Structure formats: structure tokens, C-alpha cells
Amino acid sequence: MMSARPEDHVSQYSRPSDLRITDIRSATVGWDGWRFPIIRIDTNQGLSGYGEVRDGASKTYALMLKSRLLGENPCNVDKVFRKIKQFGHHARQGGGVCGVEMALMDLAGKAYGVPAYVLAGGKFRDAIRMYCDTPNEPTGEAMGHMLKERLARGFTMLKMDVGIQPLIGVKDALTYPGGILKTEDGTEFERLVDINTIQHPFTHVRLTPKGIQMLCEYVEQVRAVVGYEVPIAADHFGHIGVDDCIRLGQALEPYNLAWLEDMVPWQFTEQWVKMERTLKTPVCTGEDIYLKEGFLPLLQAHAVNVIHPDLATSGGILETKKIGDLAQEYGVSMALHMAGTPISTMAGVQCAAATENFIALEHHFTDVPFWADFIDVQSKPIIQKGYIQVPDAPGLGFTLNEEVVREHLIPEDRGFFEPTPQWDTERSWDRLWS
């Protein structure tokens, strides 16, 4: 009589060694100008895995990888990732590779019947702290009450914008070359230049003492309403140079902010060094950096106190865990940027569970009532008292709610995971060596 095999006593979702990728499809959801291509990778065994391309990136970034993915075993996540990572880049250009990596981790977890965090080495925590981003408010007092409402929902970390936009048009608040700034409605100048298209060192927009005072008064009003016990990070300062970032950062030090985010572009390592050495408030960047090699110069220079990857840009779950582990070697903690649907959020949850020096995962859509409806999870609602419970279900730990996806497809692309034969046969000499 043949002895029982170990696998005879295991509930197998598939035969992982025989699993092969047969298709990659997409459906793009959105609201209020946001666009999120959802990626689905299908296999020969009926399993499908889901990922998400970051807002602002084209679904084409993912679909053009199809001919490189067909026939591959999705359980070989690292092998497949190394094959396709050359087709990503910093900022939104990494979105396709990252969405595919999320879907590979979803598939591999489903094939082995384990959560994705197990494939990343296991978990350090059972619940993931969320920090709640907050839209602009006209006054610091209004922002304070908005943040206080977030606290009432259970969030234990917050973020707000403290930027130059409200100062545009205010007499003596900013110094700038004529025509380089525009108001919200774009009517102030005849010759308009969108400051957001010019990198910070090249705008020559400067804060006056009055402008700095106004921003400090705004933050002081926030703290007067919320108090000093809750950590509040600050973002979207506007495209100003490093010297004005330092002047503003020093002026804001009495308000004990959690970190100052993306004050200058991440590429300018020496400018980050200058800020980190001068300021007593932590500085943070990373949402536009692709792969761990992109973070290395900042870490080697001890230029940041917090790294802030977005795994829909940084390389997906496994690469972002590697980024967190690398930062830990330099004594730097990791927060996760996130402005996506619950699909990429749950990928972030899996990564955060597996990364020891993790602080908190961003939640950008607290005020979108249907945000949580895109997926079903074991523990509902998805966010409970400011945390997401790490699911034990296989893969990314959710079931897609197809009805809700159909309801929020963007008008210009109503396709719902349609076949993509046009991407089957694209060929090129991808090898990076001769």
C-alpha cells in the first residue's frame, strides 16, 4: 500500500508547478478625475490575480508586458519580476510593472493557499496602522476640525497640506518672476506657467516673511483645535527652493510635525542632506522612487529620516519590503504612500505586515463613500478604528466586487477585463547584455 503523501493532507488551490499565465486584462475605474487601471492576470487553472496601476499611469504600461508574461509560472515571482522590471521607471512609469507584481503575488498566494505576506517572509503585526490624508481647507481652524473628525473615526496619525497655493494673489506673501504663478481658476495672469510643471530649484518662487507667518498661523490654528498629542505630517509645500524649504521648516518647528514630505524632488540628494542636517523636524520622501537602488543614495547620505515608497511605483510588494529592510540598516523607518483603490491598499497591507520598520500606510479617500465597496474582505469594514486587519485569506486577501467595478468604470474606457490579443505577439530584444 502506497504511503500517504504530505500534499494529500493539504487543501491545494492548484498545482503550483503546472500553473501558467495565459492572459492579462484590465478594467479602469475612477472618480473625480482619478483613474485606476485594475490588472487581472489569468492562468491555465482558472486562478486569477489582481493588481493595480497607479493613478496617472496608463494601463498600456502593464498590457505591453503580456508577451513577456505568457507561459510563465506566476509563482516564480522574483524570476518574472527580474524579467520585466527593466520596463518600469521612477514615478508613474513604474505603474505597469508594479501592478503586475501585485497580481503575481496574489496568484502565488492563491496557488499555495497562503497570504502574500507569508511569501514575503511572514508578518510582524496583525493590524496595519493607517494615516489619514486630508484635502485642503481654507483656514487652519477648518483644517483642525476636519482632522478632529478623522480622530473621531479612530485614526491615530494624520496628514495635511501646508503649501504656497493659498498665498498666490496675497499681497507681499510671495516673491516670484512675473507670470510663473497662477490662481486656482487660472485668471490672474495673461501669460500663465503652471508651477507644477517646473522642478522646485528652477521656479525662483520665494516665501516672504509675511508668507511664512501666514503658513505658521495656519498650522498654529490646526494645533489649537487638535492638540499636540496626535502626529500630523505635512505635504504639498509647493515648488520652492531648498533655502525657502529650510526657512519654512525652521519656522514650523514649534508645531512638532511628524514629518515634512517631498519638500524638494527626491533626486537632489545633497539638498535633502542640507535640510536633514539643518531642520529638527523629520524629513521624508520616496513616493516617486522606483526600486531599492533609487533609495540607496538618500540612505547612504543619511539624507532622510523617513522613507515613503508607494508600492504602485517602487516595484510592488517584495521590492518594497526590500526597500524597508534596506532603510532599517541605516536606522530609517518606512511609511507607505498610497492613493489608490482597496486593491493596491491591500497589497500595501501585505507588504506592511512583512516589514519590521513600518510606521503607517496612507489612506487618501476617507471621504469617498463607495471606496471600500470595490472588494470584499474577511474583516469588514476594511478600516476599523484607524487600522486594517491583516487578512489570513490567500493572496492579497480579498474578493473583487465586480458589480461595483462595473459601476465605476471611467466613461472613456468602459471595457471590463476584455481579451487583449493585440498584446500577444509583441516581440523585442529585451536582454540587457550581448
**According to the model, what pLDDT value does residue 183 have?**
60
- Residue listed under C-alpha cell 470584499: 376
User: For 53-103, where are the E strands, in sequence order?
Assistant: none
**According to the model, what pLDDT value does residue 145 have?**
97
**According to the model, what pLDDT value does residue 200 have?**
86
| 67: amino acid identity, one letter | S
Region(s) of the chain under CATH 3.20.20.120: 127-397
Phi and psi at residue 233, in whole multiples of 5°?
-90, 165
CA distances to 49, 79, 119, 324, 348 from 351, in Å: 16, 19, 10, 9, 5
Higher per-residue confidence, 337 vs 137 = 337
**According to the model, what pLDDT value does residue 51 have?**
98
When pLDDT is averaged across residues 314-323 and rounded to a whole number, the result is 98
Q: Give the DSSP letter string of 308-355.
A: ---HHHHTSHHHHHHHHHHHHHTT-EEEE---S-HHHHHHHHHHHHT-
What end-to-end distance do the CA atoms of the chain give, in Å?
Answer: 54
Report yes or no: 49 and 86 within 8 Å, Cβ to Cβ: no
Q: Which residues contact 187 (CB under 8 A, 6 or more apart)?
A: none
Q: Residue 34, exposed/middle/buried by CB under 10 A (0-12, 13-18, 19+)?
A: middle
- 339 vs 326: CA distance, rounded Å: 24
Distance between alpha carbon 175 and the CA centroid of its chain, in Å? 33
- Residue listed under C-alpha cell 485606476: 36
When pLDDT is averaged across residues 231-238 and rounded to a whole number, the result is 95
Q: What angle do CA 311, 314, 315 make, to 5 degrees?
A: 85
Helix (H, G, I), strand (E, B) or coil at 94: helix
User: For 137-203, where are the E strands, in sequence order?
Assistant: 157-161, 174-175
Region(s) of the chain under CATH 3.30.390.10: 18-113+402-423
pLDDT tens per residue across span 105-125 = 999 999 999 999 999 999 999
| 402: amino acid identity, one letter | E
Q: Which residues contact 245 (CB under 8 A, 6 or more apart)?
A: 237, 260, 263, 264, 275
Residue 63 has pLDDT above 80, yes or no: yes
* C-alpha dihedral sign at 226, 229, 230, 233: positive
Sheet with 34-43, edge to edge strand ranges: 21-31, 34-43, 48-52
Identify the band that residue 135 occupies on the pLDDT scale cut at 50, 70 and 90: confident
**According to the model, what pLDDT value does residue 14 have?**
59
Identify the band that residue 190 occupies on the pLDDT scale cut at 50, 70 and 90: very low
- 394 vs 110: CA distance, rounded Å: 5
Range 18-113+402-423: architecture per CATH: 2-Layer Sandwich (3.30)
Q: Which fold has domain 127-397?
A: TIM Barrel (3.20.20)
Residue 418 has pLDDT above 80, yes or no: yes
